[in-house]
A and B are shown apart, each in its own frame.
Chain A
Amino acid sequence: MIFSFDLLAEALIFGLLLGCFYAAVSIGLSVSFGLLDVPHVAHPAVMILGSYCTFIVAGWGLDPIVAGVVLMPAFFVLGVLIYRFYYESFEKRGTEAGVRGLAFFFGIAFIIEVGLILVFGVDQRSVQAAYIGSSWALGDYRIPYRMLVAFGVALVLTLALTIYLSQTFTGRAIKAVAQDEPALRLMGANPVRIKQWAFGIATAVSALAGAMVIIVGPVEPAMDRVYIGRTFCVVVLAGLGSMTGTLASGLILGISESIVLMFFGASWAPAVAFGLLLVVLGIRPQGLFGR
């Protein structure tokens, strides 16, 4: 292990950018799992599906970010369908849904992953854009533009969702469902429709997150596995359903991962998210900014 303050500064800058990116890939889960209590283990798989869809749409000549935005309505519908199916099969029947609900999403994740392998093969795929491949020289440090783009989109996404959930009528309704579903039912509102809408939004956001994943680096079908650790780590560390908490814990994960990457090598990096997740679950399962 070689230590120097230059390396540390570089690790911090890179970790900051990486952290915002991790917050962005986790924010959909923060809504679907954090607010709606759906055990959405397939979230990373849906996101990687978003990356591959971005790959196709960007192949028609669109910018990858635009491609991600274009995909959002389709993913919204997909999310509504997934939730509807989950609700009809498990939530509605009530008791003992826990084990089977989890198994259901685990199965969905595998189906998406193998589906991607069958269609695209196991090779890595990437997209082209002006900002991919070049970097910005800031003094002695080189910051890749693709990380800056992901950083920017992540900030916008987090801010937009925070404002949406706290300021708009439907956004508040979503938070109300999370806080007290029976009360909402007594008020005459239909919690299922609100949750369906929220799950749609969470899935639409995952499409854009998927676009960012393929901008930041090449993707392969089995990549969702390592993102299970990263996304759940961020969401649990944040405390379920806290949007600003998601940004903060994304930064914590990004910085820790980049420090480990810089000082111990790439082979240890995948364990950081899972290790942090295990520590948080063991010591403080309600997270840092819990509701």
Chain B
Amino acid sequence: MKFWIGSAVIVLAALGVALSPINEYFFFAAFVVLTFVVLATAWNILGGYAGYVNFGTSAFFGLGAYSAVVLFKGLGAPLAVQIAAGAAMGALLGFGVGLLTLRLRGIFFAIATVAVIFIMETLMINWRYVGGATGLQLLRPEAMAPFTSYTRMLFVVMALMAVVSVAVARFVQTSWIGRGLRALRDSEEAAEASGVPTLRLKLFACVISGALMGAAGAPMPMYLSFIEPASTFSLNYAIGALAAPMIGGTMHWLGPVIGAILLASLQQIVTVTISGEMNVLVIGVLLVLFVVLAPEGILGFFKRWLKSSSR
């Protein structure tokens, strides 16, 4: 119950902020931070709970973005439809990647997901309809009624998506699905032998995680008014989505949220004050420091406190 009240408060707060006369740049930066919250939360469902490392977040994200572009260019579909399509395509790709887990684990699975990024990118580079390698300019429609600009509207939409994805992750974690995923992370054979439907659970985790990543990618073309393969499929999304849970903690749904907010805000600050390259360096260094020195992430420091409070 506390969780739902908190979620409602966050969404209402986002709405309130979006209607207040704050500087436009805040929404520009906050949108990216919220995107990383969705990506990191989605990554953690498969990576944190089930222990399958997905290096291919950019593939799902990019597929979602391109699905939105195709629908927008072809039919002029509204944003909600674009997001639904992104989620559907992401889920489909998640199912395909999930089938790979039948045979692949550990580094083999991780490398296979990297391969998916580059294959998707090559397909988009060679697809004229969506602009090929040079990309496509998109004309944004007018913002809807209460909002004064499209970026403000996207900010609220992304805040809603972040809350939804956290709720999904929380549901997965606390239900029998999460227990099953944790069991197969520790030993797939033992889990299977004890009657855990490992394949179905893995497929479910891949599909849910893929759908959320695809949905996160869908508003990006509208946000930039532009789409282009190299930046859409950039490995920076992959490393960000992986680094945030590692930094925040992978065992609890709160971990990726804390990690993503800290990391993405820090990146925004570094990009503005120092340089765009430096912000990638920040992720790399923090990622290595945390996996070596604090294996349980920031939440590891608060472990006892988390255990005593209700989930």
Contact = CB atoms under 8 A, between A and B. Distances in A.
A interface majority secondary structure: helix
B221 interface: no
A6 B55 CA distance: 41
A157 interface: no
A145 B121 CA distance: 32
B47 interface: yes
Given A100-B295, A106-B242, A270-B122, A232 B111 contact: yes
B287 A229 contact: no
Nearest to A265: B126
Nearest to A269: B122
In which size bucket is the chain A interface? 35 or more
B interface majority secondary structure: helix
A107 to B, nearest CB: 4
B130 to A, nearest CB: 14
B224 interface: no
B280 interface: yes
A111 B288 contact: yes
Interface stretch (A19-27, A135-143, A273-281): A273-281
Contacts of B125: 267
Interface string A103-125: 11011101101110110000000
A267 B119 CA distance: 11
Contact of A278 (B110, B115, B284, B288): B115
A285 B101 CA distance: 12
Contact of A110 (B110, B111, B239): B239
A228 interface: yes
Contacts of A247: none
Contacts of A281: 100, 103-104, 108, 111-112, 115
B5 interface: no
B235 interface: yes
B100 A228 contact: no
30 contacts: A33-B107, A39-B107, A39-B110, A41-B111, A98-B51, A98-B53, A100-B295, A102-B53, A103-B287, A104-B287, A104-B292, A107-B284, A108-B288, A110-B280, A111-B284, A111-B288, A114-B281, A114-B284, A115-B281, A228-B114, A267-B122, A267-B125, A267-B133, A268-B122, A270-B121, A275-B119, A278-B119, A281-B111, A282-B112, A285-B103
5 nearest CB pairs, A to B: A110-B284, A271-B122, A107-B287, A274-B115, A39-B107
Given A89-B291, A104-B292, 16 more contacts: A33-B107, A89-B292, A98-B53, A100-B246, A103-B53, A104-B291, A107-B291, A110-B280, A118-B281, A228-B114, A267-B133, A271-B119, A274-B115, A274-B118, A282-B100, A285-B103
